[in-house]
């Protein structure tokens, strides 16, 4: 396959393939970083016109329990106390 033949559908197929190998969202997100940086470089060097990794949504690979809600963090922060050492304890 020629570099110029790689399009968004090829990238999506790659992500779908690794998702079907039971890879997690984090692993897919990390796998996205390498080709994305490569294609950014190719566009910067004017070897390619566009980056096929741009605007590919990865959220579809998130498991339901991987969602992070800022509200959960705010509740945690308000209800948590940080214990510090006194001068004597140090």
Task: Give pLDDT tens digits for 9-32.
Answer: 999 998 889 888 988 888 888 888
The DSSP secondary structure of the chain, one letter per residue, reads: --GGG--HHHHHHHHHHHHHTT--HHHHHHHHHHHHHHHHHHHHTTSSSS-TTTT---GGG--GGG---HHHHHHHHHH-------TTT-
Q: What is the pLDDT of residue 44?
A: 96
pLDDT category at 84 given cuts 50, 70, 90 is: confident
Q: What is the pLDDT of residue 47?
A: 92
pLDDT tens by residue, 37-55: 999 999 999 999 999 998 8
Q: What is the pLDDT of residue 62?
A: 78
Mean pLDDT within 70-82? 53
Mean pLDDT within 45-74? 73
């Amino acid at each position: 396959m020629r570099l110029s033949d790689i399009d968004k559908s090829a990238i999506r197929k790659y992500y779908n393939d690794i998702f079907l190998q039971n890879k997690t969202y984090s692993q897919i997100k990390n796998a996205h970083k390498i080709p994305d940086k490569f294609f950014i470089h190719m566009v910067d060097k004017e070897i390619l016109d566009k980056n096929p990794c741009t605007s590919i949504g990865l959220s579809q690979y998130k498991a339901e329990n991987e969602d992070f809600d800022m509200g959960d963090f705010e509740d945690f922060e308000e209800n948590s106390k940080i214990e510090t050492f006194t001068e004597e304890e140090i």
